[in-house]
Amino acid sequence: MTSSECHSTNPLVVVALGSNLGDSPRIISDAIVKLRAFSDSPILASSVWQTSPVDCPPDSPVFLNAVVGFMARANETPESLLKKLQDLEREFGRKPKTVMNEPRPLDLDLIVFGGQVRRTEGLALPHPRAHLRKFVLCPLNEIAPELVIPGQGNAVVQLLAELRSDEKIERLA
């Protein structure tokens, strides 16, 4: 992002993408393209990472994960953006979940929306487990290592360095 975009009053949004059902490489790539329409400014997109399933049903396939960052539009709220993300998940074939963390073609998690904090039935901001997940922190470290997730106190690069996890994660070429 350019220096003028860094001084924008529009909040920085971070969205984590995951897929472990269907043509995951294409789904992640196509979803990133669609997310570009959610901002008037250029987006930052991480590499794609292959990651082991975390808290998923037994024998769940591996995930492909990525993270994007962009400046929210002036009239966007966390709630309006969440609805757009959920609509995009459905566009890519996501069905209502029947089992927690079951395989899915596309999972979009709103990680941060500026410094906003929400704890409602439908929305938790910042994402309550983002700081505990390599599959979020590794790609996020590529695009925003100095970002401080609200409530964490340390930058992403520090959170990642201090994280103790048995997750298997590999950046794909």
Q: What's the whole-model pTM score?
A: 0.93
59 a catalytic residue: no
109 a catalytic residue: yes
Describe the crossing of helices 24-35 and 78-91 by its angle, rounded to 10 degrees.
Answer: 140
Q: Look at strands 107-113 and 12-19 and give their pairing.
A: antiparallel
Express the helix, strand and coil content of the chain in percent, nearest 5 each: 30, 20, 45
Domain count, the chain: 1
- Find tokens 């009053």 and name the residue: 9
What proportion of the chain, given as a percentage, has pLDDT over 70? 95
**Domain range holding 62?**
3-171
What does the pLDDT read at residue 6?
Answer: 47
What does the pLDDT read at residue 57?
Answer: 87
What does the pLDDT read at residue 117?
Answer: 95
90 a catalytic residue: no
What does the pLDDT read at residue 7?
Answer: 47
Catalytic residue among 30, 36, 87, 109: 109
Question: What is the average pLDDT value for the chain, to the nearest integer?
Answer: 93
Beta bridge partners of 118: 125
CATH number of the domain bearing residue 101: 3.30.70.560
Catalytic residue among 36, 107, 119, 129: 107
